[in-house]
Structure 1
């Protein structure tokens, strides 16, 4: 007799709301004892928010937008929940997602309960609708938190949707209900809070429960992400609908309590404008809640025996890593070529994909390949449209699919192949200039300042300034196409100067990423002036800015009110008061190398530097110096944390936290030499710097001998290091300093900053 699969398992797609109200609303999920405790981390929660917010945003363009949350596998069998009259479903796979969704529902419910705080200046007809919409969605959210069962006398008693075997007992009254797992106790407590119609914010203070620390932390993460959605924060990791998105049909259809009169509905949405932030925040919160409940779907697989559940679980996890966005996009491109009557094999599209796949395959391990694929697509999105794209797999797949399909018209075939080529171009740029192991071999001798450019590009990599990739890619391919290396040379220098001046003036990233994205998306920052964005456009419709225009744009962004870098004086005044070392070690190294480049000691004040004629022995701003072990580490001259009782450093150096990390208190040393200096007083350090600066071995021996006479004995290890070590030119000016105190550090900071400005400002100003 042939087996009947329907008797073994069933599978059905369900929205989240429908999933939680299975069996007429009396279903409850139970986590078996052998399952691990709830332990999702911030990364998992962030990915959930990315996927849901991405689906919501795309809903404005595609009203059928759904977000798939994976498969939930349960066993529908008799359990030991003897006091529970509902249907208990034992969860084999999905407890982390189910628990997180229930926690998310509690946070959303609380936020909606206080939504009237945003009603200021809204007309009555708007607040009336919002209150109805909020009440409706709040009721649905409660279904994700707790259910109710009928008890004697027609009354109803509530139970948490998630419990854990052994720790929790779901009952039909308070006497036979006990919740000792953090999730169940939290959900039951929240249900009590709602049922008692408590107007105060919900708090949960039960300590000693299994998993309470992780649960409390995750509730904070969830609450923070919800705040970012309401505020449209730039820190939010995914896409968020703007005012225009919220008025479109796809998102409109999410709302359930809009007036039946279309004119009244249009009247409501006519109020959604960029200058109505409170209303936009309300609608974003409501639409997110609606989308979560009804457009986030999962497949629930029910089995009647646990052994079948494990078989299904294993079979669903044999495929390993999910397909990347590039791999799923390739299937779309193959269909596109087929529609043109051509074979994918041997086509231009295949040629482009080979380059992309060759680049991705150069990374070892699936995690690295997945990460690099996501980085590649994020760079590509900025390059072609100026759009900010997160790392959500769903978001990236949607971006490639929808943007490819948007290319229509007379030249759509060529433009679609051009779209694929641009992904290949970005992978080509990243393989050339974003891989340190191959970077040093790039660029032909036709580039006059080849070594400087490669040094700049390696610096941008070490600074992790990946948002420079789409900008510089445009200039690189333009220089290749036009056989004009100077185009790329000038662009690299201009972008490097912008990043260096911007970062060092503020001491932090301070929205520099937002500025670079804005340059790609809109271009010029001055209102009422004609602007050209730096992205190339979906069909390559945007002309490339000349390098002079690029410089002009970058100077305008530096001159913004919160930055105000107008000239040498304004920049130096900022950078000397910056905690440069804590801001960025690569940035510190770059500025020190810039200051020493083409510089020599002043004849009358040899502890300071001045610019001199070019010479091979003073060339430090290049790829060779960036790789050179002589300049590998940043050394604090006055130690970061000295024992002042023994080391006798000027206490005023430590009166302001930034001084110790400022440019004037830093130098570059090899790793071994840096370790050997350690936390010593200035007199001792000066002797060691003298030995480092010596140009001959007899000179080193003489310094060791004199130091011994003065009471300091070089260790055998340090003597051996000096014998095999190299002359360290950056130590020579230090030897001339008498007292290393606050005033000298400030003066040296100013001297170094001025020299660095003189070296790199011409790239931009």
Structure 2
């Protein structure tokens, strides 16, 4: 394959591109409607005026307005609906540049109208005025060919084809009964073209929206743009100095420069016209000025036309060029395929419409374009894993291709399979909107699932940014969404079990190593290939929907596979293996959120171990219920506090700092509210121990006694810290630390690390059906 067969690039003027015989410009359905505001329109015309003014001094002056990316649709695959035998010979489907092209077409129609009306008021019996009239009509005729083409055949008003129309809304046809122009640009060009050829064309065109029953607001953008362009063109015509941004050359310079005149009108202004222009009537000067400007627009506005072989190559080109336009998301380019598949007339009554709406409800919740693009990318990446076990990148072209190919892989006759695909996508979007919210502080909405432990786990995974798990969770969440009253409870139970199992596996894995160590690959393998062990006793089918023709694997089977992964790849076959690995790991420096989760789990329902100062042990059920969503999100457990501070200090034993890992191990960490953590800071062990005593005291009398002891021992506690301590809640998690006698040592840190890991295991391991 030659590169030239994939795409070609040609520089062209507006005239050369828009007036190519038999060419129609086609806006696919996924393109956004016209949305340029006054500022963008002004910028394009200002750039044009700059080039226009520069031409007086430099005969090579042009205005370059960027690249247009299009597909030459030789097989009419993008034209829908298409009237057979009526489609232009060359259809160019616009992938990038429709906003600029629409603006140029609007400018050309406004120039066409202004010049034609002004020329109609000239006296043709006067030779000088007759010359101006002829030059005016020359450019009027040229402008007319840019926004419509005469096919020389057909019903009176319909032999003229608008140069640009939009998919679904419009159809080119020479016959009135099959032609349709109801999109903003299609309708406008058709209506203005008819007006310009009518007997009342000397009157101003009044643009009226078509008589339809839907979405009339989309016409407002084009109407407003036309009004803005009319005002700017009027300022150029009259050389209105109030708009300093418009660089219009002095008329005397235009009249003096025969080079300028020959470039734009291919002749020189005759002497009798020069004489006419000396009169006080500015209308001749104004008309000539706008005639020159219109010719500059046609011949000296330059664009590069990149023509791609197909849509995939066109979008690749669009991304690579990094144009200033806002790229369409993969979903925006995908939706029209669904509409086409379901047939436009029936689409709104199909399940696909509901599924697409659910996806749009999620994506439209993002007000900023960049946020919406990022949300779409996250959605499709997670859906790629859930649907096919496929690892997608953030490249738009890859995501577009995935949606297109996956959807169209099912034969068009098998519409239910395509709808199943869309339903799964919609469940993924609902999960992202309600459960895996972009705001990490927002509480996940698991309805109709009621489970505190599932809330805790989901919130932890979300704050861990453990997005690799979304695809797997969505598979079981989708089962809940699809379930009926009879199967709902079982589906919910399965989902909760899976959430707990995934959380347990990820916590045990991440806490036992300094890096992620391939955990993403493990989840991808489970989605794409499933898992089976060497002796065949464990058989997990692929979890991705399209990879598995059987029922979704049971949660218990997934748990067995995860346990086997811990043994096979993680070197963890029992509690002792895991505790040993955790005891070597500086967990705070690898992932502090994992440390916070383990600290909270280890503190749940524990009591002081009186025989081992600094340690705790399992107590009676309900004695200290901490491992829940409320405590996880309560301020009391929001920050991880280093007992021996990270910065080495003479107030602490030097042995603690012999290894840089020691201070970041579990045994040197605890949980504190953010204010208390900041207040305690990097104080000495003596001061911190007192603070822990104060924070874990159960009565106000004890609090006052401890504050008095501190004062008697000469310990200075600032007024702000005193206020924080007075107002702080009871914090039982630091009580055991306050019981340590003597110095805080490396040995205590090591012992405490092992004990915390042991206690956490007893709460987390059962989520994988591991007996403790």
Same-fold call, TM cutoff 0.5: yes
Contact 2:689 2:737 in 1 (8 A): yes
Q: Normalising by structure 1, report the TM-score.
A: 0.57
The CA distance in 1 between the partners of 2:322 and 2:475, in whole Å, is 41
Deviation at 1:752, TM superposition (A): 0.3
1:618 correspondence with 2:620: no
Q: Encode CA deviations 1:648-689: one digit per residue, 9 max, x unaligned.
A: x12121111211101000001111111111111111111111
Q: Work out the CA distance in 2 between the residues paired with 1:498 and 1:317.
A: 41
Could you say which residue in structure 2 is the equivalent of 1:365?
368
Other structure's SS at 2:670 match: strand
- What is the number of equivalent residue pairs in this alignment? 471
C-alpha distance 678-338 of structure 1, shift in aligned 2 (>3 A): same
Relative to the length of structure 2, the TM-score reads: 0.57
* The one of 639, 643, 646 aligned to 2:649: 643
The answer (yes or no) to whether the contact 2:66–2:303 under 8 Å persists in 1 is no
Q: Deviations over 1:594-641 (max 9, x none)?
A: 1001211123234211111211x5112211111100111001110101
Partner of 2:301: 308
Shift in Å, 1:421: 0.8
Report the RMSD for the aligned CA atoms in angstroms. 3.4
Whole-angstrom distance in 2 between the partners of 1:745 and 1:351: 57
Q: How does 1:125-524 map to 2 (within 5 A)?
A: 308-309=301-302, 320-338=325-343, 343-408=346-411, 412-435=414-437, 436=440, 439-444=443-448, 447=450, 450-479=451-480, 481=483, 482-483=487-488, 484=490, 485-524=492-531
Relative distance call for 1:655 and 1:344 in structure 2 (3 A) is same
Provide the C-alpha distance between the structure 2 equivalents of 1:426 and 1:564, rounded to a whole number of angstroms: 33
Q: Structure 1 317/761 Cα, relative in aligned 2: closer, same or farther at 3 Å? A: closer
Structure 2 distance, partners of 1:605, 1:319, is 66
Distance (whole Å) between structure 2 residues aligned to residue 354 and residue 92 of structure 1: 36
Report the more deviating stretch, 571-580 or 465-474: 465-474
Unaligned runs of 5+ in 1: 1-12, 23-72, 78-86, 95-302
1:312 deviation in Å? 10
- Check conservation: 1:407, 1:538, Cα contact below 8 A: no
- Residue equivalent to 2:748: 744
Q: What is the rounded CA distance, in whole Å, between the counterparts of 1:367 and 1:308 in structure 2? A: 30
Conserved? CA contact 2:514–2:585, under 8 Å: yes
Q: CA–CA distance in 2 between the matches of 1:577 and 1:344? A: 60
Larger-Rg structure? 2
User: Structure 2 CA distance, aligned partners of 1:93 and 1:643?
Assistant: 61
* 1:519-548 deviation line (CA, Å, top 9, x unaligned): 111111535747444434338624211111
Structure 2 residue ranges without an equivalent (≥5): 12-46, 52-59, 68-295, 307-320
Could you list the per-position Cα deviations for residues 93-137 of structure 1 after superposition, in whole angstroms to 9, with x for gaps in the alignment? 69xxxxxxxxxxxxxxxxxxxxxxxxxxxxxxxxxxxxxxxxxxx
Deviation at 1:364, TM superposition (A): 3.1
Q: 1:532 to 1:747 in 2, by over 3 A?
A: closer
In structure 1, how many angstroms separate the alpha carbons of the residues matched to 2:407 and 2:670?
51
| Other-structure match for 1:627 | 633
Matched, 1:548 2:556: yes
Equivalent residues of 1:536, 1:543 under 8 A apart: no
1:84 corresponds in structure 2 to none
Q: Distance in 1 between matches of 2:370 and 2:598?
A: 34
1:455 is paired with a residue whose SS is helix
| Match status 1:585 vs 2:587 | no
Range 605-614 or range 719-728, more displaced:
605-614
Q: Secondary structure at the match of 1:634?
A: strand
Distance (whole Å) between structure 1 residues aligned to residue 388 and residue 352 of structure 2:
20
Supply the distance in 2 between the matched residues of 1:540 and 1:570 (Cα, whole angstroms).
34
Name the CA shift for 1:18/1:515 in 2 (closer, same or farther; >3 Å): same
Q: Is the 8 A contact 1:535 1:542 kept in 2?
A: no
